[in-house]
Amino acid sequence: MRQVLLRIGALLVSLLLASVVVFVVLRLLPGDSAGTSLGVGTTADQLAQLRSELGTDQPVVAQYLQWLGQIVRGDLGTSFVSRLPVGDLIAQKLPITVPLSVSAFVLAVLVSVPLGVLAAVHRRGPVGVVVSAVSQLGVAVPVFWVGVLLVLVLALQAQVLPAGGFPRTGWDDPVAAARSLVLPVVTVATAMSAVMVRYVRSATLDVLDQDYLRTARSLGYGRWQALRRHGLRNAAVPVVSILGIELATSLLGAVVIENVFALPGLGTLLLGSVTARDLPVVQALVLGLTGVVLVMNTLVDLAQRAIDPRLRLTREVAA
């Protein structure tokens, strides 16, 4: 419990520091939110009035403290452009981005974990060489290029899936909504699988070279039986770490790939808000994505302690 509380405290401090960095960096960028909203030809009095309404004429410290107080109360602020609550704008986009991210992660795990173990067990055979080569190629290829290639083959030539967009009715038409997410999910999952296969392969190779696994083989266990009974749990410790990171980055990957497939999710909202210098929306999204990464790192650390008792014993001895 003490370790859990320490990790939660470190998480809160990290979130506070991240909020400072996000807020200050956005204020240092060139441009003026009021000027962008009013456009060309506005007078100085109009700019001053709008800055007063938006609160951007106050000192940066006062603006940050006001924004931090809103965050603590669960209020993400109001958009400079649409004048709608930022929380409502984000909530409208989550039903697109979250299914895309989670589906891509699940698909990547289902593909990469068996392939990574297979590549490690048969590392000197043709199967292991092919899997390793394909995963290396997948790491080198840009994710947006994979999306463009899938659109060319499956949408434009085969015409079996839509090239982009999302139904206006949303998930009221689940079949159409799911079809519109197939190509983005496969695109993100392809990039994630290429990375995860290499980590799973490396972790499994480390286990295969351990003495206790050779001892199990000498006692009559087959290769797969010894690995399943004595090796997979130890191999899972480093793999859990990369899985947690990839789950967080799957959300970031979904944000990027949404613009390739013209999906009206968080990625489109973020890009449009950056262009319009809609600071409340941008800083809420950036801080939220940062928070997801930090939370996942904390959960990964706790999960590793639960899987590997040696980590708990090490911390107890150090304490």
pLDDT at 277: 83
Question: Which of 36-40, 100-104, 138-142, 252-256 has maximum average pLDDT?
Answer: 100-104
- pLDDT tens, residue by residue, 158-191: 888 888 889 888 898 899 999 999 999 999 999 8
Distance, in Å, from the CA atom of 186 to the CA atom of 188, rounded to the nearest integer, reads 6
Q: How far apart are CA 153 and CA 166, in angstroms?
A: 19
Residue 94 has pLDDT above 80, yes or no: yes
**pLDDT at residue number 82:** 84
How would residue 221 be classed by pLDDT, with cut points 50, 70 and 90? low
d(CA 301, CA 241): 8
Phi/psi of residue 55, nearest 5 degrees: 85, 10
Residue 123: per-residue pLDDT? 82
pLDDT in tens, 246-303: 887 777 777 778 888 889 988 889 888 888 888 889 899 999 888 888 888 888 777 7
Percentage of the chain exceeding pLDDT 90: 14
